[in-house]
Chain A
Amino acid sequence: QVQLVQSGAEVKKPGASVKVSCKASGYTFTSYDINWVRQATGQGLEWMGWMNPNSGNTGYAQKFQGRVTMTRNTSISTAYMELSSLRSEDTAVYYCARIYDSEDYWGQGTLVTVSS
């Protein structure tokens, strides 16, 4: 069965970077784009960007341009999302998701807390 398993919670100081991983299993990793979506506590969903694991091509939301980098390691079927210059407003649960046509699979979410 398709699974996306994310790395554990992180606590970071303002100005630092965080790298969240998303390990895929149950399907051919390079066949589907991976999206990253975040959600601050009590707030709505916010799309951050996508990555094609086959080509490595990416597309980022304008808000995160210059601060986010999405990469992958195809040998271990893992996607990564790195966010730099963290500020308190980046405190949120970060999800990876495979959404294509009628199917969607989401990671369990990774809580990133930014606090001094």
Chain B
Amino acid sequence: QSVLTQPPSVSAAPGQKVTISCSGSSSNIGNNYVSWYQQLPGTAPKLLIYDNNKRPSGIPDRFSGSKSGTSATLGITGLQTGDEADYYCGTWDSSLSASYVFGTGTKVTVL
């Protein structure tokens, strides 16, 4: 059972925007950087956002991240069919012997 809570699913039409929340606590999100990962069906996860709001090279600016207090948010604008995937937040948690924790995951569906 993850300590980071995400909505199970979000959906929107192509071209629209979705946001995915990631709720944690002071021992994880509140005091550490958050990353976001995209996992396309049948593939390994891929880093989308690191250090709360930075995009690795090659990640389009349609993807954005933010953090406020003990919550983080991933935004996807201009939704495309290729964005249909599972998305996970992740961060370190100092209350669990310095363990890394992933969120519960959110399935994005493009209608």
> Residues on A close to B: CB < 8 A?
35, 37, 44-47, 50, 59-62, 65, 95, 97, 99, 101-104, 106-109
Interface contact A45-B97, CB-CB below 8 Å: no
Counted as pairs of residues, one from A and one from B, with CB atoms less than 8 Å apart, the total is: 61
Interface contact A104-B88, CB-CB below 8 Å: no
Interface centre among B44, B47, B54, B96 (most CB of A within 10 A): B44
Interface contact A61-B99, CB-CB below 8 Å: yes
A41 to B31, CA, bound (A): 31
Chain A residues near B39 (CB-CB < 8 A): 45
B100's partner among A35, A65, A109 (CB-CB below 8 A) is A35
Interface string of B30-67 (1 = CB under 8 A from A): 00000101010000111100100010110000000000
> Residues on B close to A: CB < 8 A?
2, 35, 37, 39, 44-47, 50, 54, 56-57, 86, 88, 90, 96-105
Chain B: which residue is nearest A99 at the CB level?
B47
A61 to B100, CA, bound (A): 8
By Cβ-Cβ distance, the 10 closest A-B pairs, closest first, are: A106-B44, A104-B47, A44-B105, A47-B100, A45-B102, A102-B56, A61-B99, A45-B88, A62-B96, A62-B97
